[in-house]
Structure 1
Amino acid sequence: MTLLQALFLGLLQGVTEFLPVSSSGHLAIAQHFLDGFEQPGVLFDVMLHVGTMVAVIIYFWRDIQAIAVSPFRRGGDSGVHRKMLLLILVGSVPTALIGLSFKDFFEGLFDNMTVVSSMLLVTGTLLFVSERFRRGTRKQGQLTLGDALVVGTVQGLAIIPGISRSGSTIAALLLKGVDGETAARFSFLLALPAVFGAALLSLRHFSAVPAGELPLYLAGTAMAFVSGYLSIRFLLAVIRRRRLFAFALYCWAAGALFLTISL
């Protein structure tokens, strides 16, 4: 892997992690066409996800801090924040069960361009349907345990490359009557435990990374952080304006193009 490849993949991850177009699908396609690209397991991909999750932590730092200390406080909004902590924990259970049970199977799909392209078509359809039939205005305080379980399950299935994690989880919440900005915020916060867990599982691959390539991994991670931070702002603005149709069209076009090439 070269420095240019690392920076390019970091930029690609940062832009597509929060825009609902599947970062895993774009990384799989890009890596497929990059000459000489190799990584132990999916360690580089996980490092890039860590970069974008650091962007989430910084962007939503006040929310995260309030949620973290809520069990030790009373009064004010602490009750709402304790409920959010519970929802994140509950939603993380199905994600963990799916991820741990099918991890090796899903990782094996990253080299299957037919699957990746087909799942981009699925992502486009999810975005189209959710934008067409979004019907509610439920806010953070109105989220339920049922919402958390549904979104956690969807997030677990989004390990399949080509299924957008942010797109599918936001779509699920929109279809359940949740306000767009609330859906995006919960989607981003719910991803933190999943990415942290994936990073821990991938630590075993660090010994297989040549010492000379470690700076490249860090450069890609830094690029993912910077571009991811900017993408969060952009996506929240898009959701407020109810303009997910454009991303549905993009996913259909990209999926159809690479499906044609793979076949």
Structure 2
Amino acid sequence: MTCAHAFWLALLQGLTEFLPISSSAHLILVPRLLGWADQGLAFDVAVHVGTLIAVLAYFRHEVAVIALDWLQALKTRRSNPNAVVGWGVLIGTVPVGLAGLLLKDWIEAYLRTPQVIAAATIVFGLLLGIAERWHRGRRSLEQLTWRDAMIVGVFQAVALIPGTSRSGITITGALFLGYDRLSAARFSFLLSIPVILLAGGVKTLDLLQSGGAVNWDLLLLGVATSALAAYGCIGWFLRLLERVGMMPFVFYRLLLGGALLYFFWPSST
């Protein structure tokens, strides 16, 4: 992989990781269209580290307050809204963690195909459109309940299907539960922190077991590029939500899914 390939793939990962448009769909479409070689496990770990740095940096104050209030609630056994959000992030991570442990090999063997990614991009894009069209959400993140966190967590587990979009499906679940767009997006981003840690940990173990050579210059480029792109994208997305909502992303997903079907359906097995 060249420096140019590393830069563009890391930029693509950073821009698509937190938008409801499926990073996996883009990362299969662009390299195959351009004839690029697979980027490898080490680079996957690097761009995950970059996106983790971005979300922690963007929500650093919120994460710090939630963590401190959660620890205080453990000590005093008196809950508060921030502590509930902290519990909600942990509870919402359980379904995807369990599903990942049980289904990882099966998903890798059977679901990482252009057909599945195209279908998931379209189907879950339409579901996001339904949630956006019919929701009348006024609930804020401070009104989060443990039940809601578990339901959104179950939605998040569905994102193990490539093409679903983790941010897209968690925002969809929160909208169906009556949360406003900004609160749904904030909870989705907070949920991404332990999920990216888990995914990065799994990929790191796979990398260590593979014993492959590591090009540290390309990895550092991947970390820096994906981190900067993701940080800027989070802020842009949150501002855009307040003005136009989710429908532009729904239409984009339909076009992307159609492109995947057009380019890969006839030649895929």
CA contact (8 A) 1:21 1:123 kept: no
User: Does 1:95 find its partner at 2:96?
Assistant: yes
**Deviation string, structure 1 residues 159-189 (Cα, Å, up to 9, x no partner):** 2211111111111101110011111111011
Q: Counterparts of 1:196-215 in structure 2 under 5 Å?
A: 196-204=197-205, 205-206=207-208, 208-211=211-214, 213-215=215-217
2:235 to 219, 233, 237: 233
- Cα RMSD over matched residues? 2.1
2:151 is aligned to: 150
Count of matched residue positions in the alignment of Structure 1 and Structure 2:
260
CA contact (8 A) 1:28 1:110 kept: no
1:122–1:62 distance in 2 versus 1, CA, 3 Å: same
**Deviation string, structure 1 residues 228-258 (Cα, Å, up to 9, x no partner):** 0111011111221243111111110111121
Is there any run of 5+ residues in structure 2 with no aligned partner, and where? none
TM-score w.r.t. length of structure 1 = 0.91
1:28 is aligned to: 28
1:81–1:33 distance in 2 versus 1, CA, 3 Å: same
Aligned equivalents of 1:28, 1:154: Cα separation in 2: 23
TM-score w.r.t. length of structure 2 = 0.89
Cα offset for 1:15?
Answer: 1.0
Deviates more, 1:42-51 or 1:141-150: 42-51
Aligned equivalents of 1:179, 1:69: Cα separation in 2: 25
CA contact (8 A) 1:14 1:226 kept: yes
Is there any run of 5+ residues in structure 1 with no aligned partner, and where? none
1:218–1:110 distance in 2 versus 1, CA, 3 Å: farther
Instruction: Give the partner amino acid of 1:49.
Output: H
Aligned equivalents of 1:160, 1:31: Cα separation in 2: 20
Q: Counterparts of 1:77-226 in structure 2 under 5 Å?
A: 79-108=80-109, 111-204=112-205, 205-206=207-208, 208-211=211-214, 213-226=215-228
CA contact (8 A) 1:87 1:148 kept: yes
Percent sequence identity over aligned pairs: 38
1:90–1:19 distance in 2 versus 1, CA, 3 Å: same
Aligned equivalents of 1:20, 1:158: Cα separation in 2: 11
CA contact (8 A) 1:109 1:160 kept: no
Cα offset for 1:123?
Answer: 2.8
